[in-house]
A and B are shown apart, each in its own frame.
Chain A
Amino acid sequence: MATLFGSGIKRREDPRLITGKATYTDDVKLPGLLYAAMLRSTYAHAKLNQVDVAKARKAAGVVAVYTGADVKDKLNTVPCAWNVPNCDLKVPPHPVLAVDKVRYVGDGIAMVVAESRAAARDALDLIDVDYDALDAVVDPEKAAAKGAPELHKEVPGNIAFTWKVAGGDTGKAFAEAAVRVEQRIVHNRLLPTAMEPRATCASYNAGTGQLTCWITSQNPHIHRFLLSVMTKLPEHRIRVIAPEVGGGFGSKIPGYPDEALVSFASMELGRPVKWTEDRSENYKVTIHGRDHVEYVELCGTKDGTITGLRTRVYAGLGGYASTAAPGIPTILHGLMYSGPYTIPNIEGTIYGVYTTTTPVDAYRGAGRPEATFLLERMIDLYARQIGMDPVDVRRKNLIPKDKFPYTVATGITYDSGNYQGALDKALQLIDYKKVRAEQAKARKEKRYLGIGVTTYCEICGLGPSQVAGAVGFGGGLYDSAIVRVYPTGVVRAYIGGKPHGQGEETTFAQIVADEFGIPVENVEVVAGDTEATPQGWGTYGSRTTAVCGSAVKVAAQRVKEKAKKIAAHLLEASEADLEWKEGKFVVKGSPDKGKSFGDLALMANVAWNMPPGVEPGLEATAFFDPSNFVYPFGTHICTVEVDVETGEVKILRYVAVDDCGPQINPMIVEGQVHGGVIQGLGEALQEMAVYDEDGQLLTGTMMDYAVPKASQMPKVETAHTVTPSPVNPLGVKGVGETGTIASVPTLVNAVCDALAPLGVTHIDKPLTPARVWAAIQQAKGGTP
C-alpha cells in the first residue's frame, strides 16, 4: 500500500469551511444567551477616580454592570506564565478590570451584560469615568530612560527584567577585530490580525458547578488552567472548547481578562454570556508583536569570518506582562543570536520595558524573526564594509553539515542541518550569477535592482518539558494523543494540540492511516475540547507536528503492538513469527494466514478470545516529550527594483527554500510557507502599529493598519531540501513560522542592496515609499 506520509492529499477540514458549516466561537448560541461589552480606557495612562455606572445599570436591556471595584475581590489578577529566571523579573498585578489606574488605551474599566449586543454596546456610552491623565510613554527605549513616567509602583524605572546571554569572550573579540559594524535597528510593532477576532462564550451550571467556556484559543488546556486561576474555580469544573478558530498567529495563546470576566458574569447571573471583540477593540486589546529598539554590533576579519556579535535591546512589553511575554525577547530571541553560523563570541543584554501601550506577546515567529533580522542585516552591512559578496560571507560562516549536533555560543544545541544544501538550491533557483550580472547592467542604466539573501535557522518544536521548567515556562511542552479504535475498525485520534488553519486534522490522519494500513477516511482527528482530549500544551511555536504528531505516532504504534499480540493469539503463532504486510499481520512464510487491522479491531473490542493477561479494547494514550527542540532552516532570496523617484519597491522574484525535514503533506507545507512569507513581507513593507506621543493608537482600525492585500503581494516560488531531525520519531521539524522569520530580512536586504550605489546602508521597516524615499534623500546629503 502506498504510504500517505508525503502525499499532498486534500484537507478534510475544508468541506465545512467552504460551505459555511463550521462553528466558530461567535457562532455559538445558547438558550437565554446574554451579551457582554467592555468599556475600555480612552487614556494611555491615567489615575482612575470614579466610574459611575448608575445610568448604565438602569438602561433598557441591561442585566448587570461590573467595575474593577465590583470584581477585585472575586476574581484573581491575570497571571503571567513565563517567569524567566535570573533576570530580576518584576510582574506587577494585572487586575481583570482596572482598579485605580489605567495603563494603556484599551485597558478594561467596566463590563456591561445585556439582553442583546446592541443594548450592551449602547450602555457603555452611559458610563461616566473620571480620569486624571498622566504622562504616557510608548517607546521602550524612552520608557527605560531616567525620568520616564512610571507605570507601576512595583517597577521603578519601568524595567521588567534585564536578561543577559553570553558565550565566548566578546570583549576580546571586539578589541581584536579588524572590522566592526554597528547599527541601531527599530523592530516595528505589529498587530497580529487573525481574521477572526477573539470571542468567549461562557455557560455556568450552578446545579453541577461546571463552567463550559468556548474560547478562540490556540491552547484550550492552557486556557482552562488560566481561567481556573482567574475565576478561582477548580480546574476539573472547567471545560474549555476551542471550536473552529480563525487564525491566531500567537494572539490567541494568552489568557486575557475578558474570558474570566465573561465566565464570572455567567456564574453571577446564571445565564450564558457571550462577548466578541470588534476589530477596533481587537487592535487595542489583543496582544501586539515585536516592538524592539536594538543596538547591534558585529565584528570579524577582513576576509569574512565573523568573530563576534553584541546587542543591547529594549523590548516593549506594553502596560502589563502578558502570558508568555517575558520569554519572547529572551529565550526565543537571545538564544538564537548565532543563527546558522559559527559565531564564537556572543553577548546580549535585553531589557524588558513596560510602556503605556497594549501588551506585547508572541506573534508568528516570536523573538526569532527579530534575531534573524538583526543578524542578517548585520551580515550584509559587514559584507559591504569588507567588499565581499554577502553570499560568500554567509557560506564562509555557516555551520558545516558534518558538525551536527552543534552547540552554538549561546549554549543551545542544534539537532541537524545542511545549510549549504539549501543555500545552493536557492542560488540555483534564482540563478544568482545571472541576477548579479543583470544588476550590474541595470546600475549602469541608473536602474536600482537589489538582491536580498537570508540564510536562517530557527528554534521550534517547543520543546523538552525539562527545558521549559528550567527557563521558567509555567507549563510542560510535551504533547499528547489518544488513539481509539472502534469495533468496526475506524479510528479517532484525540490530540492535545489545537490546529487553527495548519491542517493537522489531515496530516495526523495520514500518520494514523499509514500505521494501520487503513484508508485515511477511516481516521478522524479530534482537537480543541478539554473534555475529550488529553492534557496538551497547544498549537504555537511550530510545535504541533513535531511534538503532538509524534504523540499520535507513538500512540498508534502502541495500539499496533497490542493488535499484534491479539493477532499472534488468534493465529496461534508467536509474535516473533508475525510480520506486518499490506495492512495485515501475517505469519512469516504463509502470507495467506493473516489478520487485518479490521479483524483485530473487532476482536479486541468484543474480547471474545483475548490472549491471557491482555485487557479488552484497542486504544492507547501517548505523551510525547521530545529530547530537544527542532531547528528548521533554509535560504530565501528576493530580487527587487526600487523606483528612486518615488521610493516604491517592486518585488521581482521571491524564492524560498526551506528544510522542515520530511513533509507529511507537501501541499500543506507549501501553504504554510506562502502565508508566512507574505505575512513577513507585510511586516517588511507596510505594517506598523503607530502610537502618538499620548499613547493613542493611530492605526486603530483596518483602514489604517496595512494588512497585505492580494494585489500588493508577489508569488512565492517554493522548494525544499530534506534533513530529518533525530529528536522525534517522524523526523519532522516545524514550518509554521519560517516564512515570517526569513522573509523580513530578505526583503530589507534586497532594498538596501538596490540602493547601495546611492550610499543607503539601512532603512528601518516598514519600507514604505515615504521611508525609502527619505533614506535616499538623506544618503544623497539632502534633507529628507
Chain B
Amino acid sequence: MKRTITLTVNGAPRSVEVEPRALLALVLRDQLDLTGTHIGCDTSQCGACTVHIDGRAVKSCTMLAVQAEGHAVTTIEGLAAKDRLHPLQQAFWDKHGLQCGFCTPGMIMTAADLLAHNPKPSEAEIRHALEGNLCRCTGYQNIVAAVQLAAGAR
C-alpha cells in the first residue's frame, strides 16, 4: 500500500515512504520532523500549514504527499539561509507581528509568496493576500505592518 516518493525538501533531496492518502502537512510533521508547519483546521481555512511548492504558497493540508513527488518543498525551517533570518521573519519580530506564534509560519510563507509576486503591495492588497491565513491573537494590524516593513526593506 505504501509508496516511496522522492522530493526536495528545503533544498535537500529526500525520499520517504508514505500512505497514498497521507496529507503533505502530516508527512512533513510526523515523518520528516518539520514541525514548524502547523495544522489549525481540517477544512483548508486557517493557513497554518502553508509551505512553498516550487516557490508558490500552498496549504500543505490540502494536498497529498504523493502529489509533491518530484517537486521542491520549502517550509518555514528552510525559508532563510542558515543562521540568518528572512526579511519577513525579521519584520515579524521587529513589528510584534506574532503573539502565540501558531499562525506565524504560515503567515510568513504566504507573505513571502505575496512579496515575490507583488514587491510593493498596498495595505489592502496585503490584507487580501492574507485572507486564507487566520490569526486569533494579533488582530492582524502588526502582521500587516510587518509585511509592509519587509516590502520596504527589499
Residues of A near any B CB (own CB < 8 A): 10-11, 13-24, 26-27, 29, 117-118, 193-197, 244-247, 249, 278-280, 500-503, 667-668, 670-671, 674-679, 701-703, 707-711, 713, 715-716, 739
Closest residue of chain A to B30 (Cβ to Cβ) is A117
Are B76 and A679 touching (Cβ within 8 A)?
no
Are B139 and A716 touching (Cβ within 8 A)?
yes
User: Does B16 touch A at the CB level, under 8 Å?
Assistant: no
CA distance in complex: A246, B40 (Å): 10
Q: Which residues of the partner chain B approach A679 to less than 8 Å between Cβ atoms?
A: 136, 139
Give the interface segment out of B52-60, B63-71, B141-149: B141-149
Min C-beta distance of B51 to chain A, whole Å:
10
Supplied contacts A11-B96, A195-B102, A675-B136, 5 more A-B pairs, CB within 8 Å = A18-B101, A24-B35, A703-B45, A710-B126, A716-B139
Say whether chain B's binding surface is mostly helix, strand, loop, or mixed. loop
Are A502 and B80 touching (Cβ within 8 A)?
no
Closest residue of chain B to A671 (Cβ to Cβ) is B96
Q: Which residues of the partner chain A approach B92 to less than 8 Å between Cβ atoms?
A: 14, 18
Min C-beta distance of B6 to chain A, whole Å:
22
Q: Which residues of the partner chain A approach B96 to less than 8 Å between Cβ atoms?
A: 10-11, 667-668, 670-671
Listed A/B pairs (6) with beta-carbon separation below 8 Å = A14-B101, A17-B104, A27-B29, A195-B135, A245-B100, A679-B136
Min C-beta distance of B142 to chain A, whole Å:
6
Q: Which residues of the partner chain B approach A710 to less than 8 Å between Cβ atoms?
A: 126-128, 130-131, 133, 135, 140, 143-144
Min C-beta distance of B60 to chain A, whole Å:
13
Closest residue of chain B to A33 (Cβ to Cβ) is B30
CA distance in complex: A13, B104 (Å): 12
Are B36 and A20 touching (Cβ within 8 A)?
yes
Q: Which residues of the partner chain A approach B14 to less than 8 Å between Cβ atoms?
A: none
Are B75 and A20 touching (Cβ within 8 A)?
yes
User: Does B118 touch A at the CB level, under 8 Å?
Assistant: no
Are A194 and B105 touching (Cβ within 8 A)?
no
CA distance in complex: A34, B42 (Å): 21
User: Does B85 touch A at the CB level, under 8 Å?
Assistant: yes
CA distance in complex: A702, B41 (Å): 7
Closest residue of chain A to B130 (Cβ to Cβ) is A710
Are A18 and B85 touching (Cβ within 8 A)?
yes
Min C-beta distance of B10 to chain A, whole Å:
10
Are B101 and A15 touching (Cβ within 8 A)?
no
Q: Which residues of the partner chain B approach A678 to less than 8 Å between Cβ atoms?
A: 139-141
User: Does B17 touch A at the CB level, under 8 Å?
Assistant: no
Are B38 and A24 touching (Cβ within 8 A)?
yes
Closest residue of chain B to A364 (Cβ to Cβ) is B136
Are B42 and A701 touching (Cβ within 8 A)?
yes
- A24, A246, A501, A716: residue with the most chain B Cβ atoms closer than 10 Å: A246
* With A10-B93, A18-B98, A195-B48 as contacts: A674 and B138 at CB distance below 8 Å: yes
Are A247 and B137 touching (Cβ within 8 A)?
yes
Are A196 and B104 touching (Cβ within 8 A)?
no
10 nearest CB pairs, A to B: A20-B36, A246-B102, A17-B101, A678-B139, A501-B100, A501-B99, A702-B45, A20-B76, A674-B139, A27-B35
User: Does B134 touch A at the CB level, under 8 Å?
Assistant: yes
* With A14-B101, A246-B38, A502-B99 as contacts: A195 and B136 at CB distance below 8 Å: yes
- B76, B77, B93, B103: residue with the most chain A Cβ atoms closer than 10 Å: B93
CA distance in complex: A197, B39 (Å): 8
CA distance in complex: A10, B137 (Å): 17
Are B137 and A501 touching (Cβ within 8 A)?
yes
Are A197 and B40 touching (Cβ within 8 A)?
yes
Are B142 and A247 touching (Cβ within 8 A)?
no
Q: Which residues of the partner chain A approach B38 to less than 8 Å between Cβ atoms?
A: 24, 195-196, 246
Interface members, chain B 1-34 (any A CB < 8 Å):
19, 21-22, 26, 29-30, 33-34
Closest residue of chain B to A709 (Cβ to Cβ) is B131
CA distance in complex: A26, B138 (Å): 22
Are B105 and A20 touching (Cβ within 8 A)?
yes
Q: Which residues of the partner chain B approach A501 to less than 8 Å between Cβ atoms?
A: 99-101, 137
CA distance in complex: A412, B43 (Å): 46
Closest residue of chain A to B42 (Cβ to Cβ) is A278
Closest residue of chain A to B128 (Cβ to Cβ) is A711
CA distance in complex: A278, B136 (Å): 17
CA distance in complex: A10, B127 (Å): 24
CA distance in complex: A20, B88 (Å): 13
Closest residue of chain A to B126 (Cβ to Cβ) is A710
Cβ contact of B35, chosen from A20, A278, A668, cutoff 8 A:
A20
CA distance in complex: A675, B103 (Å): 14
CA distance in complex: A501, B40 (Å): 16
Q: Which residues of the partner chain B approach A280 to less than 8 Å between Cβ atoms?
A: 42-43
Are A246 and B77 touching (Cβ within 8 A)?
no
Q: Which residues of the partner chain B approach A19 to less than 8 Å between Cβ atoms?
A: 36, 76-77, 80, 85, 89
Are A675 and B101 touching (Cβ within 8 A)?
no
